[in-house]
Structure 1
Amino acid sequence: MIKVVSLFKKRDGLSTAEFRDYYENNHSRLFADHLKVPGVHRYTRRYLEPIPDSITGAVRHSGFDVIMEVWCDEQWYTDYFVNQPSAEFRELVAEDEEKLFDRTQMFTYVVKEYDTDLSAL
């Protein structure tokens, strides 16, 4: 199983509520045909809310507003991220991203996970 993670910053001028509403009810739905196929196991958006530092109380923000995650098999990863969808679909997504994200602050990674055996600590 492959896990892909993207970090996104919302576009200036959007409130947090507007950002989340548009992402959930519009942008994420653009991908329905790509996500409802065999090979995709999970798709999530994790909205980030900074918490105060436990010592200073200062609230610092990384600049990112959401983490998007997709768990998929290797074939789907290759089809979608390596070979990529059609140019028309990518253009549609890019146009929609302009409404939602600061496109200079969009980063996507493959995650290599290492679990800690907590019973060994």
Structure 2
Amino acid sequence: MIKLVMCVIRCPEISRGEFQDYWRNHHGPLFQKFAETYKARRYVQSHTIDTPLNETVRKSRGMSQEYDGIAEIWWESEKDFIDATSSPEGQKLRSVFLDDEAKFMDFSKSAAFFTEEHVLVKEYD
């Protein structure tokens, strides 16, 4: 299993609330609609919450600006990702997703990378 992680910063002209609303209620359902075609096994959005804890954590570590959220998309394998995005339908979807993301994401300040999970602590009761 591989995972694409996107650390997202919103476009400067929209508020965090507007960003989160668009991402959750427009982009999320758009991706859900085509997830099977895109061979995506799972899609999770994590929205940054407004809490003073964020500033405390960043300052204690000398970290830069916080992200507005994190998106995670899983595929069974690199081959599944490549097959899905290389097909004619996948190419169209890629364009649809990128065009939509440009409405709420600042690509120049955001980051994306593929990962492989290593679970070190599992849920407990």
**Equivalent runs, 1:1-121 vs 2, <5 Å:** 1-37=1-37, 39-49=39-49, 51-53=54-56, 62-74=65-77, 75-81=79-85, 83=86, 85-86=90-91, 88-116=92-120
Do the aligned residues in 1 keep the contact of 2:37 with 2:84 (CA within 8 Å)?
Answer: no
Q: TM-score, normalised by structure 1?
A: 0.71
SS at match of 2:56: coil
Query: Aligned partners of 1:48 and 1:61: how far apart in 2?
Result: 15
Supply the AA of the counterpart residue of 1:44: V
Do the aligned residues in 1 keep the contact of 2:2 with 2:117 (CA within 8 Å)?
Answer: no
Query: Aligned partners of 2:28 and 2:119: how far apart in 1?
Result: 29
Do the aligned residues in 1 keep the contact of 2:39 with 2:84 (CA within 8 Å)?
Answer: no
Query: Aligned partners of 2:28 and 2:34: how far apart in 1?
Result: 11
Shift of the alpha carbon at 1:12?
Answer: 0.5
Name the CA shift for 1:117/1:11 in 2 (closer, same or farther; >3 Å). Answer: closer
Shift of the alpha carbon at 1:37?
Answer: 4.7
Rg larger in structure: 1
Give the percent of matched residue pairs that are identical in Structure 1 and Structure 2: 23
Q: TM-score, normalised by structure 2?
A: 0.69
Runs of 5+ unmatched residues, structure 1:
none
Runs of 5+ unmatched residues, structure 2:
none
Query: Aligned partners of 2:101 and 2:83: how far apart in 1?
Result: 21
Backbone CA RMSD of aligned residues: 3.2
Query: Aligned partners of 1:45 and 1:117: how far apart in 2?
Result: 21
